[in-house]
C-alpha cells in the first residue's frame, strides 16, 4: 500500500447528509416533515394557557375581596360590641356605631344587617353583649358572597370591693 493513500478513505464509503431534495432528509414526504416542525407551537401554547392564567388571577382577586369583606364585617361587629358594652351606654349605641362604620367603608358590604344580642350568663341581668354583622361582598360577573362576623364583649360595670 502506498503511503500517500494510507490515511485516505475511498470515495465509495463517504456519505454526505444534506438538506437538499436529493439528500437523506429530503426523502421524507412533505406532510411528514410538517408534523415534526415546531413553528407556531408557542402561539398554540399561549392560546391554551392565557385563559387559565386570567381565570386564576380573577379567582385570586375574588378571594381577596371576600376576605376584605369579612374583615370589614368583623371590625364593624367589634366596634359595635365595644360601644354597646361601654359603661352606661344607651340602648342602640352598638348598632349605631357599627352602622356608622359600615357607612364610612362604602360599598365593601352591601345589604348589611346588624344584630345586637344581650347575653345573660347565670342570671336575669345581661353580663355581655354579642354583635353580629351580616352582608354581601362585592364580586365580579354579578356574583356576590354572603359574609357574617360576630364579636362578643362583657358589659362594663362599676363595682366596689364589697360587690364581689
Helix axes 93-105, 41-84, angle to 10 degrees: 150
**What residues make up the domain containing 84?**
34-163
Whether residue 7 is contained in a domain is answered as: no
Report the distance separating Cα 36 and Cα 30, nearest Å: 10
Could you report the per-residue pLDDT of 24-44, keeping only the tens digit for each?
Answer: 555 667 777 667 777 777 888
What's the pLDDT tens digit per position in 57-98?
999 999 999 999 999 999 999 999 999 999 989 989 999 999
Indicate whether 119 belongs to any domain. Answer: yes
Residue 66: which CATH number? 3.30.1300
User: Closest Cα partner for 152 from 111, 119, 125, 105?
Assistant: 119
pTM: 0.70
| Alpha carbons 148 and 131: distance in angstroms, whole number | 11
Q: Is residue 27 part of a domain?
A: no
For the chain, what is the domain count?
A: 1
Q: 130: which strand partners?
A: 117, 152
Q: Following CA atoms 7, 8, 13, 18 in sequence, which dihedral angle do they give, to the nearest 10 degrees? A: 110
Amino acid at each position: 500500500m502506498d503511503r500517500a493513500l494510507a490515511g485516505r478513505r475511498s470515495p465509495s464509503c463517504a456519505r454526505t447528509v444534506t438538506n437538499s431534495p436529493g439528500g437523506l432528509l429530503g426523502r421524507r414526504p412533505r406532510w411528514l416533515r410538517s408534523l415534526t416542525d415546531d413553528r407556531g407551537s408557542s402561539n398554540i401554547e399561549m392560546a391554551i394557557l392565557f385563559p387559565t392564567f386570567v381565570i386564576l388571577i380573577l379567582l385570586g382577586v375574588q378571594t381577596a375581596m371576600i376576605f376584605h369583606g369579612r374583615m370589614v364585617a368583623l371590625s364593624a361587629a367589634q366596634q359595635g360590641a365595644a360601644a354597646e358594652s361601654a359603661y352606661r351606654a344607651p340602648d342602640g349605641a352598638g348598632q349605631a356605631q357599627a352602622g356608622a362604620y359600615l357607612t364610612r367603608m362604602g360599598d365593601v358590604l352591601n345589604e348589611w344587617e346588624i344584630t345586637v344580642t344581650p347575653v345573660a350568663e347565670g342570671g336575669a341581668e345581661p353580663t355581655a353583649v354579642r354583635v353580629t354583622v351580616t352582608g354581601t361582598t362585592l364580586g365580579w360577573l354579578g356574583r356576590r358572597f354572603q359574609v357574617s362576623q360576630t364579636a362578643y364583649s362583657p358589659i362594663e360595670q362599676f363595682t366596689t370591693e364589697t360587690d364581689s
